[in-house]
Amino acid sequence: FNTERFGQHILKNPSIAQEIVEKANLRPTDRVLEVGPGTGNLTVRILEKAKHCTAVEMDPRMAAELTKRVQGKPEQRRLEIIIGDFVKAELPYFDVCISNTPYQISSPLVFRLLSHRPLFRVAILMFQREFAMRLVAQPGSSLWSRLSANVQLYAKVDHVMNVGKNNFRPPPNVESSVVRIVPLDPPPPVRFEEFDGLTRIIFSRRNKTVHASFQAKGVAEMLEKNWRTWCSEQNKVMEEVKMKEKIEGILEETGYKEIRAAKMDLNDILKLLLAFHDFGIHFA
Ligand code: SAM
């Protein structure tokens, strides 16, 4: 295990560890999921407030240290350590997720949490500052991106605090920030793969017009293939289709042809998605 590869930067500032856990407003009945507990600086504080904590840790040496830290104490029975990769681990039920994880798994972490059912109540997560800023970015701002749109479709995201690199041992190369993620309940009735398929196209060049993005190589071909699959699933007679013209028509009709993704908000993107769906055109 290599410090850099597994992002083993231990949070050494106790008041920041305390603050992160406080931001979750834990209830005595809560079951908490922690990803990458390391030596347990957040874990011991979680166990003070919550009923139970499941901690997923990939490095057996870290898991051993954490085990030692609670050994023989009453909280030992309320902590379950899963040794393994969070990305592959089977997740238990949890009300709250608290984590200071290696930044390599930031994206998989967020999307895995948001697709987990039943939905959790809140997640307090530490990320590389740049990633955190993209999570909370608003439409029209310079950091508004595919990540911002994909996450904000399913959750409300707030910035909680900045954490400088000197609060960690060893200090990482980047600054960090903590965010709060509250999933929308019920979630919007939109398949993630569909929404993500559209944002992948329009944010591929966020400052070009939607029209230009749809003209990129392979896009019309991909949509035509999806359209054919959809037609055969619906037992629809497949007329010949000029997909490029069809796309033009939809962009024209919805009024998004000359708009840039950088300026589109969630409603705009959803409206565009539904207009394509009305014509049987799918993105996944
Ligand atoms: N949470 C602790 C803290 O705040 O002091 C440790 C933070 S350290 C940045 C990240 C921890 O995640 C390390 O203990 C590392 O071994 C663990 N880790 C790395 N990749 C992981 C993965 N894919 N699944 C679970 N844990 C992982």
This model of the complex carries an ipTM of 0.99
Give CA–CA dist 67/80, Å, rounded.
Answer: 9
Q: How confident is the model at residue 239 (pLDDT cuts 50, 70, 90)?
A: confident
56 CA closest ligand 1 atom index: 25
34 CA closest ligand 1 atom index: 1
Q: Tens digit of pLDDT for each residue in 79-102?
A: 999 999 999 999 999 999 999 998
Position 231 pLDDT exceeds 80: yes
Q: Average pLDDT of 55-79? A: 97
Q: How confident is the model at residue 61 (pLDDT cuts 50, 70, 90)?
A: very high
Ligand 1-lining residues (CB < 6 angstroms): 6-11, 35-38, 41-42, 56-59, 62, 85-87, 100-102, 105
Measured in Å, residue 68 CA sits from the centre of ligand 1 at: 17
282: its two tokens: 């799918």
Strand order across the 79-83 sheet: 79-83, 52-57, 31-35, 96-100, 122-128, 176-183, 155-163
Question: Percent of the chain beyond pLDDT 70?
Answer: 98
The pick from 58, 66, 86, 104 for probing ligand 1's pocket by mutation, whose C-beta has the most ligand atoms within 8 angstroms, reads: 58
Q: So what's the pLDDT on residue 20?
A: 98
Q: So what's the pLDDT on residue 248?
A: 96
62 CA closest ligand 1 atom index: 14
Question: Percent of the chain beyond pLDDT 90?
Answer: 93
Give CA–CA dist 74/123, Å, rounded.
Answer: 26
